[in-house]
Amino acid sequence: LRYTRMQWKNLGADFYVQQQFDEFHRLISRTLVGTGLRGVVFNNKTIGLWFGSGYMAEAETRSLPELSEEPVDVQNHRWSNYLTLNWQIIPERLHFSNTAYYQPRFDDFNDIQALNEGKLNVPMSDKISVGASWIVRYDSMPPADVQPMDVKILGFVNVIIL
């Protein structure tokens, strides 16, 4: 859940909360709460670029192997940064969007979490589109038995029923 309030034309504030789980990354629960500044570099009908930077609190409960010496519950304070690009490459025919996040821990800048989420969308009609999406996730200090980098690439078909 994210709330953005633009105080001025190109500068505003973000507030967000997030709850997730991910068995493949050994996350029983991950809760995020954050706030920061949001800036618009440019935004028009064809292309938009904006960024954000601020504070994020993170609380994780992890499922670890029995002999692991890592803590099950972890709380961190991170510097959360993002950059988003939305681009109508061919207006009403080809749309590209991508958001990259970079989140080092305040007390250990070597502990980095990064995420890149993107989508390429091709409308076929007013109610149908096809495309591809991707997620690239990096954790410099993942839990035991979890790889630091994870890549997902998916194809999709969107159908608007109503």
pLDDT tens digits, one per residue of 5-44: 999 999 999 999 999 998 888 889 999 999 999 999 999 9
> Phi and psi (nearest 5°) for 25?
-105, 15
pTM of the model: 0.91
Q: Is the pLDDT of residue 162 over 90?
A: no
Q: For 69-116, write each residue's pLDDT tens digit.
A: 888 899 999 999 999 999 999 988 999 999 999 999 999 999 999 999
The pLDDT assigned to 46 comes to 95
